Amino acid sequence: MSSKLDQLRKMSTVVADTGDFSQIATYKPQDCTTNPTLILKAAQMPAHAPLVEEALKWGRSQKAEIDKITDRLSVNFGVELSKRVPGRVSTEVDADLSFDTAATIAKARELIADYEGRGISRARILIKIAATWEGAQAARVLQAEGIDCNLTLIFSMAQAVACADAGAFLISPFVGRILDWHVKNTGQTYTQETDPGVISVKAIFHHFKVHGIKTIVMAASFRNVAEIEELAGCDRLTIAPQLLATLAEHDGVLLPQLIAEKASKPTPPPIREADFRWRMNENQMATEKLAEGIRFFARDLKSLREMVAQRL
């Protein structure tokens, strides 16, 4: 019998959540996602030293600011990853711009311009943006320009709907971080079937399919293989290398749990900003986890910038 990873590939597009080239070679995903945390980790690996040195050399020659050199480094990784996967590479906009629509748009355009200047089509890149209201509105503008977006850090239906309303190419609803919050705040033990992160993604997937919403649902942030198995059939799944390894090592029957339903309901009216903010206000988990996620990515982006500054 084929491995669970091979079976999963027949149900969902498998995406690697890593910036490590060796892991890409091992698991051969369709797409790859990165974030400041993953780039920071990958940049410290000896095998990736040439990418860091190139960014530093470029920065010195251009007398560039630290944030521009860091952008250069992120795109360096993205270019190399695009050579190793047949599909898309997600590159994240600075987390500290998550509440600034205009700055997010400007940064996304700069990143795409850098990619295209190196011969990488925008059709190969997803610009990754935090799913704040401001992020969704930035995606609306970028999508109209043919810049496809991955709206990340999604913890609620309100976020998912706002991003779909904006025409986002893809959303990344998180699973494990939702589970973390509920375990911490309720003290309960959850099974594969009652995992609140899994339930959240299933609800979003169902809502999108029955309303004929085209935005791709890519579940992210898994804590265990059971969560992945319970979401087999989701449009895409972005999975960390250690969980890809577990799936590759085990066989046994893996059945689809999510099946795209035929659109049967009219698309609901767009969510208004006031409604979005109220629904987020009423959802303590989503509000806390979104804020925490932005802080953590901003922290690691700061560490990446500090590493670049020290190396200069």
For the annotated catalytic residues, the residue numbers are 128
**Cα separations in angstroms, 142 against 97, 109, 167, 168:** 15, 8, 9, 9
Residue from 190, 165, 171, 169 nearest 179 by CA:
190
Task: Write out the two tokens for 1.
Answer: 């019998």
What is 65-100 written as a DSSP string? -HHHHHHHHHHHHHHHHHHH-SS-EEEEPPGGGTT-
- What's the alpha-carbon Rg for the chain, to the nearest Å? 19
Task: Write out the two tokens for 185.
Answer: 């705040």
State the virtual CA torsion across 242, 223, 297, 80 in degrees, nearest 10: 30
